[in-house]
Amino acid sequence: MISLSFDPADYAVARSTLGSLGAAPNKSLGQNFLLDKEALNAICDAAQLQATDSVLEIGPGLGALTVRLLARAERVTSIEKDTKFAAFLTKKLKGDGFKLVEGDALEVGWDKLGLPEANAKIVANLPYSISKPVLRRIIEEWRPHLTSATVLVQREVAFRLTAPADTEHYGPMSVMSQLYTRPHMVFDIAPEAFLPPPKVTSTVVHFEMLRAPSIELASETRFWATVRAAFGQRRKNLGNTLKPLASREKLAQVFEQTGVDPKRRGETLSIQEFELLARAIWSD
């Protein structure tokens, strides 16, 4: 852990720092800086950080969350794409426990982060512009390296991550999140807590990473082929959306065997029902 006197979670400090850098929040990079100290501390609490933890942060910006992570964890690596903020944090936050990786969080390999191969944690205020692809990378690619991820996202994205079947926000992101993690929404943060204020409410979501999918899959490839097909044309029923996967005769057998009504749509299916269909479609 590193004890730090610098705290950019203050509007005067943030504006002064931006002015000295000749910088401003970049809309194209989804930069909205969270400056509410209570919310920042609550994010760290939600992540259940320990003094021995290794943490990955994505999009540190001015470092308001970064300094709090450094005060609680043994090691913090932050990925920053904006060259001005990367240079600023590299100079400002010196210490053996901190590493700044300048680059794109969608491209940087785990081997470049200086973090352990297992039992790391992600704590991040995700840039709004890349929150969905970053979440996919966290859950699909980086999951084996992690015990948990605690992230700030748009509230609509939080709804999608945690939505149960047959609800408004349920979709492939819901299936992915609930197949590979135990997700739950922790708390909301109002727009006025940010500089500049975004046009949406934000929500902190905590994921407990699962070592194996939440249900047993015969084939992940076939399971996801079924999910993608079922959601490919949301207004059409399963009798139509699953046609690319099997013949009409085979699908009739599948629906009879599984008891799934072909008139249902993909968003009504539970994860277990997707697996039932996948197994039946590819059965001999």
Q: Summarize pLDDT for 208-221 with one digit per residue, the tens.
A: 999 999 999 999 99
pLDDT band for position 132 (cuts 50, 70, 90): very high
Distance of CA 114 to the CA centre of its chain: 21
Domain count, the chain: 2
In tens, the pLDDT along 43-61 reads: 999 999 999 999 999 999 9
Number of continuous H segments (helices) and E segments (strands) in the chain: 11, 9
Share above pLDDT 90 across residues of the chain, in percent, rounded to a whole number? 84
Same domain, 84 and 27: yes
Cα dihedral 209→212→218→221 (10° resolution): 40
260 and 121: one domain?
no
CA-CA distance, 32 to 120, in Å (whole number)? 25
| Mean pLDDT in residue range 65-83 | 96
Domain membership of residue 6 (yes or no) is: no
pLDDT-derived band at 4, boundaries 50, 70, 90: low
| pLDDT above 90 for 23 | no
Distance CA 32, CA 14 (A): 12
Q: Identify residue 260 by its one-letter amino acid code.
A: V
Residue 29 has pLDDT above 80, yes or no: no
The chain-wide mean pLDDT, for the chain, equals 94
Residue 27 pLDDT greater than 80, yes or no: no
Q: Would the pTM count as exceeding 0.85? A: yes
- The pLDDT assigned to 14 comes to 87
Identify whether 5 is part of a domain.
no
* Beta-bridge mates of residue 187: 204
Query: In terms of residues, how long is the chain?
Result: 284
How does 53-83 read in b/e, with b if 16+ C-beta sit within 10 Å?
A: bbbbbbbbbbbbbbbbbbbbbbbbbbbbbbe
Which residue among 163, 188, 209 closes a domain?
A: 209
Same structural domain for residues 59 and 87?
Answer: yes
Asked if 57 and 121 sit in the same domain, the reply is yes
Let me know whether 254 and 118 are in one domain: no
